[in-house]
A and B are shown apart, each in its own frame.
Chain A
Amino acid sequence: MGKLFAVTIIVIAIASAVPVVMHTWDAPADISTHGHLIDEQMSETMVEAGISFLAAQLLLALFVWRFSGDRPNAKVKTFPGGAKGLVIAAVLLVGAEVMALGVFGVKAWADVYLTPPAADSMPIQVQAGQFAFYFRYPGLDRKFGQIHPELINEGTQNLFGLDPEHDPDSRDDVVTAEMAIPINKEIHLLMHAKDVGHSFFVRELRVHQDFVPGLDVSLHFTATKVGRYEIVCTQLCGLGHYTMKAYLDVLSQADFDDWMKKQQAAQ
């Protein structure tokens, strides 16, 4: 029975590793300027975690195979080197692994979160509410009108609670249900929650950030490949959580300009 256990965990360990080695379940290709750092970090971690996983399972199998079963006359033995050697090995090997992953990981994180957006980045506001995203572009004045919660009304399509009568900044704001951005242009995304917690996740962009009701947060990114991508909510926000999505269109600058003109005309 011990030998069967040993064989079983070897089979499970190898079967578990095969899809990873074959890249059967990889994330979609990165379309951002910062995403390669995340992907590299992921690959390095996969190698280190994979080796640890296989080594531990194989050692477990080896020792169970070798030392289980009916061995009435065998004397018990202690592993040469004892616990001290294992502790030193764990501290040195895992410690080095931890330091390496920790230090290199800082670079990828800092690139997204610890650097300010460029001065000429394009501001776009995204508002999340049960169960839709809405986007707002500031218009030619590059200023967003103020949000007045008491004026928010889906019936009149005043989705951001704007007050164009008294607030000139809001008059040229462009509100859309889909997000379009120009390629190779840094976007400064300003995130506002209307009601409860939500999240903004675009797999291809390597961007994932929660909305915090009562606290506007922001992040910045640059898309490098034209295409249509899904924006999904990953923070449980109510019964329609699974339906909360929008599309991100990454366009050439010319196409984006055309798109923006159409949106402005439709306001």
Chain B
Amino acid sequence: MSETSSAPAAAHHGPPTTFISKHVFSLDHKVIGKQYYALALVAALSGMVLSWLMRIHLGWTNAAIPGLQLITKSGAPGGVMTPEYYLQLMTMHGTIMVFFVLTTAPFAAFGNFFLPIQVGAEDMPFPRFNMMSFWVTFLAFVVLMSSFFLGDGPTLGGWTQYAPLNAVGSAGGPGQGLGVVLWAASIALFCIGQLLGSLNFITTTLDLRVKGMSLMRLPLSAWAWFITSCMGLTAFSVLLPACILVILDHVAGTSFFVASGLVINDQVLPHSGGSTLLWQHLFWFFGHPEVYIAIVPGLGIVSHVLITNMRKPMLSQRVLIYCMGALAVLSYMVYGHHMFVSGMNPVSALAFSFPTLVITIPATIVVLIWVFSLYGSRLRINSASLFALGFISMFVTGGVSGFFLAQPSIDIMLHATYFVVGHFHMVMGVAAMFGIFAGTYFWFPKMSGRMMNETLGRIHFWLSFVGAYCIFMPFHYLGMVGNIRRYSTFVDDFLKPLIPVHQWITIAALITGAAQLIFLYNLIHSRFWGKPAPDNPWEATSLEWSTATPPPWDNFGGKHPVVYHDPFQYGVQSSVGDYVMQASPEQVKTEHDEQ
């Protein structure tokens, strides 16, 4: 960086002076990003352990799980899980993974750490809101986990919390009283945290770009976080009031989601006039954009990682940006495909089906751009690029199964089956996790100042990649036969023969889950004892690689970079190699013709 510009309008705060202000209640977006990452890590481990317990129960229903009775006496007498405890674990698994892992890690964690640096800013415009965003999210996690220890446990209604089961109180079953209130309070807090975060992301992108950093010069990862924050601002602002209304149905005697004349245990419920489908509309108006909130950051991260390792730009950065934007807009118009057989007007099913099919077009373009950009590249294989390539494979597999679920007539057969579970685990679970892993192996040196162990990273990839297919492809087959999801035990005649498939999936899940412990070891060991990282280990171009490793508290050591180039100038001849950094004034000759 040979030139500096004047500082963009940013909220300045001095360097932290105490342990608390540096590591706990920090205003520094980088510390907040790492806090989000740590929270996501704890949440991911919790969610994974829950999935192990669930999978053991599904494979061997009457098996005693040693030690489980010590955690919950009523939920697992003698270590054998009860049906309601299975549903409670399932609900918590889904909630933890969707909200506290898939939203926080790729968006809030990496976005917080890198978006301000990638635009050349010292911090975000509202650092206190940013700090509040994390701590409110942390509180949300604590509130959610507290439901394990309070009342009769967590809610059993699934992460979608359909009405009126979510609003009828304890009469609906274990966890449907206090458990639901804690769930709704947790998610409401989470929404507040993400709204504050989204506000910061949007203003950072629009207002704090340094000189020369036009919108089209933003790296694809920054574009992905910006688009995701726009979705977050609109999606979470709908889920927030929905959760408040659920809480009111419990504590204030309202009937937003409970209709008249419902009877449980021969007692007419004291509610009237509510709408069952209202919850589904509100939830899925959030819920489908949420799928893209989880995956769009992955599109950006994977693009960024791939470009760096291909040593050439994508065929078109502009087309990728437009496609991510199209996915975001369309995500609001397709939510009704979750409700084809819900009882809503069947004509509207067709209206929701068409944009769901259309959304395949930008998604296909993204995949084609990725794949055909590999043509003529000098692809470097490392842990980060392997996970990025694995992401593409998973995104394709999860995407094509969406073709089936987009059609209401086929949904008649596949709705609420394991096909749906396989689809969303593949596309927003595994693919998004692969995006997180790609981002971790890629950016860990910059975040921590140390390199991760490459051999362990590759072992982690192979076990995860093959393992994920062994787990989730059979889910699709089970769904095609009609295997219903959310059953704690398979007692129906047609489901009993499928239990061996579930046992296979359980074994694959246990092995694949254990492989994640390799990642955890690598992460922790490298953090303290890893090889010191140079400033730019991957010979990358975006601004985060222009500054020190790890970056100083104000990101650029009191300077403000000037941007001279598009974000991904690879395949060029420069004084440093086949790339030129965004902040370098050096004029270079390209080896290729960019489209």
Residue ranges of A at the interface with B (Cβ–Cβ < 8 Å): 1-2, 5, 8-9, 12, 16, 19, 24-28, 37-38, 41-42, 45-46, 48-50, 52-53, 56-57, 59-60, 63-64, 66-69, 71-72, 74-79, 82-84, 86-87, 89-91, 94-95, 97-98, 101-102, 105-106, 108-109, 112-114, 129-130, 147, 149-150, 152-155, 161, 193-197, 199, 201, 203, 206-215, 217, 230, 232, 234-243, 245
For B164, list chain A residues within 8 Å (CB): 195-197, 213-214
Q: Which residues of chain B (547-595) have a CB below 8 Å from chain A?
A: 570-571, 578, 591-595
For B162, list chain A residues within 8 Å (CB): 197, 235-236
- Of A2, A27, A106, the contact of B381 (CB 8 Å cutoff): A2
For A217, list chain B residues within 8 Å (CB): 343
Contact A64 B477, beta carbon cutoff 8 Å: no
Q: Which residues of chain B (152-206) have a CB below 8 Å from chain A?
A: 156-158, 162-165, 168, 172-174, 176
Q: Which residue of A lies closest to B482 (CB)?
A: A203
Question: Which of B116-124, B208-216, B360-368, B504-512 is the interface stretch?
Answer: B360-368
For A2, list chain B residues within 8 Å (CB): 379, 381
A12 to B595, CA, bound (A): 33
B377 within 8 A of A: yes
Contact A26 B378, beta carbon cutoff 8 Å: no
A158 to B289, CA, bound (A): 45
Q: List 23 A-B contacts (CB under 8 A).
A: A28-B482, A38-B409, A45-B407, A49-B401, A49-B404, A56-B367, A57-B393, A57-B396, A64-B374, A71-B378, A82-B316, A90-B368, A101-B403, A109-B346, A109-B349, A201-B416, A201-B482, A207-B412, A208-B341, A212-B343, A217-B343, A232-B484, A234-B417
B392 within 8 A of A: yes
Known: A86-B315, A208-B412. A194 touches B262 (CB 8 A): yes
Contact B353 A102, beta carbon cutoff 8 Å: yes
B276 within 8 A of A: yes
For A53, list chain B residues within 8 Å (CB): 396-397, 400
B457 to chain A, nearest CB (A): 11
B372 within 8 A of A: yes
A193 to B165, CA, bound (A): 12
Known: A67-B379, A83-B369, A150-B268. A195 touches B275 (CB 8 A): no
B341 to chain A, nearest CB (A): 5
Contact B361 A83, beta carbon cutoff 8 Å: no
Known: A112-B412, A114-B346. A195 touches B393 (CB 8 A): no
A243 to chain B, nearest CB (A): 6
Other than A94-B361, A213-B164, A243-B491, give 4 A-B pairs with Cβ distance below 8 A: A16-B473, A76-B377, A82-B595, A109-B350
B489 within 8 A of A: yes
For A199, list chain B residues within 8 Å (CB): 341, 416
B136 to chain A, nearest CB (A): 29
A9 to B461, CA, bound (A): 13
For B415, list chain A residues within 8 Å (CB): 208, 234
Contact A214 B263, beta carbon cutoff 8 Å: no
A109 to chain B, nearest CB (A): 4
A181 to B593, CA, bound (A): 69
Contact B408 A105, beta carbon cutoff 8 Å: yes
A112 to B310, CA, bound (A): 51
B456 within 8 A of A: no
Contact A41 B410, beta carbon cutoff 8 Å: yes
A215 to B323, CA, bound (A): 40
B83 within 8 A of A: yes
- Of B264, B274, B477, B595, the contact of A195 (CB 8 Å cutoff): B264
A84 to B595, CA, bound (A): 8
Tell me which of B378, B406, B487 has the highest count of chain A C-beta atoms within 10 A of its own C-beta. B378
Contact B492 A232, beta carbon cutoff 8 Å: yes
B466 within 8 A of A: yes
Contact B409 A41, beta carbon cutoff 8 Å: yes
A241 to B485, CA, bound (A): 10
- Of A57, A77, A78, the contact of B595 (CB 8 Å cutoff): A78
Q: Mark B131-166, 1 if CB is under 8 A from A, else 0.
A: 000000000000000000000000011100011110
For B268, list chain A residues within 8 Å (CB): 149-150
Contact A234 B165, beta carbon cutoff 8 Å: no
Known: A105-B353, A199-B416. A87 touches B275 (CB 8 A): no
B389 within 8 A of A: yes
Known: A195-B262, A206-B412, A215-B259. A237 touches B357 (CB 8 A): no
Contact A196 B379, beta carbon cutoff 8 Å: no
Contact A42 B491, beta carbon cutoff 8 Å: no
For A45, list chain B residues within 8 Å (CB): 403-404, 407, 410
Contact A211 B381, beta carbon cutoff 8 Å: no
Contact A152 B263, beta carbon cutoff 8 Å: yes
Q: Which residue of B lies closest to A89 (CB)?
A: B368
B254 to chain A, nearest CB (A): 15
A89 to B592, CA, bound (A): 23
Q: Mark B478-517, 1 if CB is under 8 A from A, else 0.
A: 1011101111111111100000000000000000000000
Contact B481 A26, beta carbon cutoff 8 Å: yes
B358 within 8 A of A: yes
Contact A211 B319, beta carbon cutoff 8 Å: no
